[in-house]
Structure 1
């Protein structure tokens, strides 16, 4: 049975995705994490609203960040079937600090020196120094804090120097790439702020796009976003890789994403058409 599993997509996106498909492929849509089984290489998913009724699926589209999704991503990688984005890439990118370490190994813009504080470890900035603490696995400004006095970590924490400049995102979707200028009222910048904009086609920084593609290739991801900070003098710093970037804030990205997914589904392979 050629059945598709959608994980994490909301109903408007599921509806508009169905409308793009030229053939009516059976779809199991789960807005939250589903229960799955992997048996003899076959992936089965529990039907929504049908307790312990499992059906086989042949392809998966995953779009969401959930608190406990790493085991499911790992199971999809173990399965090894067609998954968008690549399941192994999502698995490798999901934990914040290991993901950053992997990205720093290939980026051109990794000169910023990071630190790490284990549970209960104190971090004392130098006189006049401001640092950034990042912990947990959430994005969109969550679990980040500026500090300039001694701070004791409650959980494993990434430590970065605070850099002033323009927060920018390179959003990659197959052969296409966009640059998003992020905004915010405080030091925290996000695509969700009303002042954030997608730069016109052709205005994306070629160096950032090339760097983002290099990182994406290292993870095997077809779709992703990389956040950078660009200082006033033009110095660029990699901040983080987003393996599931938001696609609903900007209409043009939403439409491009749905077209891309529909093309991948109808191609019936593990890689989308360009």
Structure 2
């Protein structure tokens, strides 16, 4: 039976994923690869047409992506407070890395103290240290140093932890643990050698707790597990990569399609 939601918006969904969703939904779809203009009025969300002039009311939104200018857009979705996947309020709280990290560290049982450096300030350390800045992931905007370092940007600093980098990823009620890889100390999900591994029950429980507290529908938490077995939360991915592994992509699409077609 067709649900009552007859117009959905897909924002940031790539063509390959759009085609799958389109094949499973017969209602009207507004599809934008980039951030569209929106208006929220009388608790109704209007999104500009993909083709032509004007805006149309939308019943549900699926958002996937990270853009330089998407914070205001996500804020608009949160003000609308309508059906959005992932939950707009959760995305809003996690869009900026440093505020999200602060919240996550207060929730995690695997937190470690962080430092903070203002843009233009110099910090001096005697131990191996990592600075992180900006709101991108994938190993970008990170610097490892010992001694004096002047930060060009507002940054957090933390001890460099030697160990195995892993990600706990959760979409809906499915979860995986992924071993992150890379030729340098910077590890990510993208190298061909990255792959699935046995799930650590404690890391999964920690991620589930953070996911629930931050009202997130999907999450990717990165941890370091040292040789001594100590575990540390490194960062939270509010839009984790879903295309790197076909298994994850399939679950994401099934979850989105089920959410779209449910009343």
TM-score over 0.5 for the pair: yes
TM-score by length of 1: 0.92
Q: Distance in 2 between matches of 1:86 and 1:98?
A: 18
| Deviations 1:184-242 (CA, angstroms, capped at 9, x unpaired) | 0000001001110012xxx2111111100000001111111111010011100001110
User: Residue 113 of structure 2 aligns to a residue in which SS?
Assistant: coil
1:262 partnered with 2:257: yes
1:100 corresponds in structure 2 to 101
Q: Which residue of 2 aligns with 1:30?
A: 32
Q: Select 2:218's aligned residue among 174, 199, 223.
A: 223
- Asked if residue 15 in structure 1 is aligned to residue 19 in structure 2, the reply is yes
The answer for the alignment partner of 2:189 in structure 1 is: 191
What is the CA deviation profile of residues 19-56 of structure 1, one whole-angstrom value per residue up to 9, with x for unaligned ones?
2x2x40211111111111111111000112324x1001
Taking the TM superposition and a 5 Å limit, the aligned residue runs for 1:60-79 are 60-79=61-80
**Unmatched runs of 5 consecutive residues or more in structure 1:** 269-274
Q: Unpaired segments of 5 or more residues in structure 2?
A: none
- Following superposition, the deviation at residue 2 of structure 1 comes to 2.4
After superposition, what is the alpha-carbon deviation per residue over 1:42-93, rounded to whole angstroms, capped at 9, x for unaligned? 1000112324x10010100010000111101111011000000100000000
Identify the residue that residue 124 of structure 1 maps to in structure 2: 124
2:38 pairs with 1:43: no
Alignment RMSD (CA, Å): 1.0
User: What CA distance in whole angstroms lies between the structure 1 residues aligned with 2:218 and 2:226?
Assistant: 26
SS state of the match for residue 134, structure 1?
A: strand
Does the alignment pair 1:55 with 2:56?
A: yes
The number of residues matched between the two structures is 259
The TM-score, its normalising length taken from structure 2, stands at 0.96
1:271 corresponds in structure 2 to: none
